[in-house]
Amino acid sequence: MTIFEKIIAGDLPASFIHQDERCVSFMDIHPLNEGHVLVVPRTPAARLTGLDPETAAHLFTVARKILEAIQHTAIRCEGANIFLSDGEIAGQEVPHVHLHIVPRFRGDGVKLTFGKKPPAADREVLDRAAQTIGAHFKRRA
């Protein structure tokens, strides 16, 4: 059982913002900035593809509403990073899907980095990747 399942079950405390039949949202215990919120599905899937499409989409709908709410508070929010680390290799620490909402403001010192900027890829390589992914995408559309 992950920490988030325990929070959802009420076995661990959390500062909730919102709860509905598909997801809950609460404050991150180690906020990158004031107002750092997590949106977490009730389904205990580790990966985004483990969620049904409606639940996956719902996370973003709720995130948008929370962002709008934050913008109406005194929390500094000149922009925000909204991200999801999908899998341990992508930096996911809690193996239960969650969307981060991190309010940002000039000079906050927060760094979200994917390393140095890579060189531009060859068009041929990009086209090949687009074709392969696109073919599978169409089969699922």
Separation between Cα atoms, residue 44 and residue 89, nearest integer Å: 19
Q: Which residues share a beta bridge with 37?
A: 27, 101
Neighbours of 123 (CB within 10 A): 8
Q: Is 29 in the site for ligand 5GP (CB under 6 A)?
A: yes
Site string for ligand 5GP, 98-127 (x = CB under 6 A): ------------------------------
Among residues 9, 91, 112, 130, which is the contact residue for ligand 5GP, using CB under 6 A? 91
Q: How many binding residues for ligand 5GP (CB under 6 A)?
A: 12
Q: Take residue 52 and report the two structure tokens written for it.
A: 């049904």
Strand ranges, E, within 1-141: 16-19, 23-27, 37-41, 79-83, 99-104
Hey, which residues between 47 and 86 contact ligand 5GP (CB under 6 A)?
Answer: 85
Positions touching ligand 5GP (CB under 6 A) are 3, 14, 26-30, 85, 91-94
